Amino acid sequence: MRLFIITGVSSGLGEQIADKLIIKKEKLVAIGRKFTKKQLDVSQLSPDLIHLLYCDLSNEKEMNVLFDKFPSNYFNDVNEIVFINNAGVIGPINKIGKYGDSNFIKKHINVNYLSPLILINQLVRITPITKKIKIINISSGAATKAMEGWSLYCSSKAAIKMFLSVLEKESENIEVLNIDPGVMDTKMQQLIRNSDINEFPLLDQFQKYKDDGRLKDVTTVADEILKRIIQ
């Protein structure tokens, strides 16, 4: 039996993956600041299949105690744990030197880099050595390509990939899969299209993705990802 743990399930790709896991009756722990009505309803009806852990991933204090609230019985009869690092933010979209309040920088790094680092470290620590861990990192082309206005996003995405590369070398029972889902039709893309062209010179290109109908459907992407995870 598998246990899935996923962050960022209130919308977009994370919501679609979580909903499909629920339909497949996979054991699931969803981590987030908020949840959809469907997720809340199912957690009430089938608490043995889905458990919701409330956590603001931009708040370091909440992350440090999150696994204290983790239902230990969820490890019973589980031989593989699949952690899906899905939560992420793109903003603030600004050129370096224009971020203003350092809290914006801190919150971004907390969500995109520090939170998965802390959660994965805790997961590795509490998981019995006999159980296999698979980490699915929802990455981005920005992890390897410098984009003006995206210094925080590019660097945080690159940093978590390197962290996971080291982890995979250290642990024989841990498998890492980095997945770049491409440009999807999500709220993040809306935020990008509403950015300032002076801060993000590629704005016209991303607006054209929408106008030309080239944004990927998140439901289709979720299906493709689960096919790669679930044998």
Dist. CA 116–CA 68, nearest whole Å = 16
- Would you state the pLDDT for residue 70? 74
Express as a percent the part of the chain with pLDDT over 90: 82
Residues 6+ apart with CB under 8 A from 44: none
Is 153 noted as a catalytic residue in this protein? yes
Q: Give residue for tokens 């096919």.
A: 227
Contact of 173 with 81, CB cutoff 8 Å? no
**How much of the chain is helix, strand and coil, in % rounded to 5?**
50, 15, 35
- Would you state the pLDDT for residue 231? 63
Average pLDDT, whole number, for the chain? 93
Helix axes 12-23, 37-45, angle to 10 degrees: 30
Tell me the mean pLDDT in the region 90-100.
Answer: 93
Would you give the distance in Å from CA 48 to the centre of its chain? Answer: 23
Contact of 1 with 79, CB cutoff 8 Å? yes
What is the 8-class DSSP label of residue 11? Answer: S
Tell me the mean pLDDT in the region 89-110.
Answer: 93
- Give the residues across from 133 on adjacent strands: 81, 174
Dist. CA 222–CA 21, nearest whole Å = 10
Lowest mean pLDDT among 118-132, 155-169, 201-215: 118-132
| Marked catalytic residue, from 54, 99, 153, 209 | 153
Tell me the mean pLDDT in the region 206-213.
Answer: 96
